[in-house]
Amino acid sequence: MSYRALLACGTPEAPDRYRQAKRSAATAVAEAKTRAWEEFGEPMENDFRTASKRSASAVIRTLHRSIFVPTLTYGHELWVMTERTRSRVQAAEMCFIRWVAGLSLRDRVRSSAIREELRVEPLLLCVERSQMRWLGHLVRMPPGRLPGEVFRACPSGCCHCDPTPDKR
């Protein structure tokens, strides 16, 4: 139960109940950590010490794919990809990849070389592929679905949607 919910009860012991619940949750987490370390501690320690560079880069690729990419590309299906947007996405991605590789711009290593070493696909390709996938969904959407209707809509006064040719 949250602190606000306990305070909403209006009882004077609400703060004490909240602190007690917080302590018991922290104790449960600490006990679970201790049990896990007792059971897997030595094997985990040895695995971390002997981890090869390949497995470390696999972990980093997984983090890149599962955390960084979704965070950076949230809502990208509807982005208008201007040169400025492309440049910013590419700069943010390369900043992260260089950090992962332990390099800086002063090291003067090409982005393509870093991508090859870490085996990471350019984020702009993923964005474009996903945008094309979304466009396919819109085109195949049956009449009556709101996203498809908005996609097919023609605003009033729009010159390229008007079926009649210009009469000049």
Give 112-148 pLDDT, tens digit per residue.
Answer: 999 998 888 999 999 999 999 999 999 999 999 998 8
Determine the average pLDDT of the residues in 20-24. Answer: 81
Indicate if the pLDDT at residue 51 is higher than 60.
no
User: How many residues appear in the chain?
Assistant: 168
Euclidean distance between CA atoms 76 and 161, whole angstroms: 26
Q: What is the pLDDT of residue 156?
A: 74
- Count the domains in the chain: 2
21 Cβ contact list (under 8 Å, min separation 6): 1
Indicate if the pLDDT at residue 43 is higher than 60.
no
| Residue 6 placed within a domain | no
Q: What is the pLDDT of residue 27?
A: 84
* Same domain membership, residue 44 and residue 68: no
> Which of 51-80 are b and which e, b meaning 16 or more Cβ less than 10 Å from the residue's Cβ?
eeeeeebeebeeebeeebbeebbeebeeee
* Same domain membership, residue 44 and residue 125: no
Domain with 44 in it: 11-50
* Same domain membership, residue 62 and residue 29: no
| Residue 168 placed within a domain | no
* Same domain membership, residue 105 and residue 93: yes
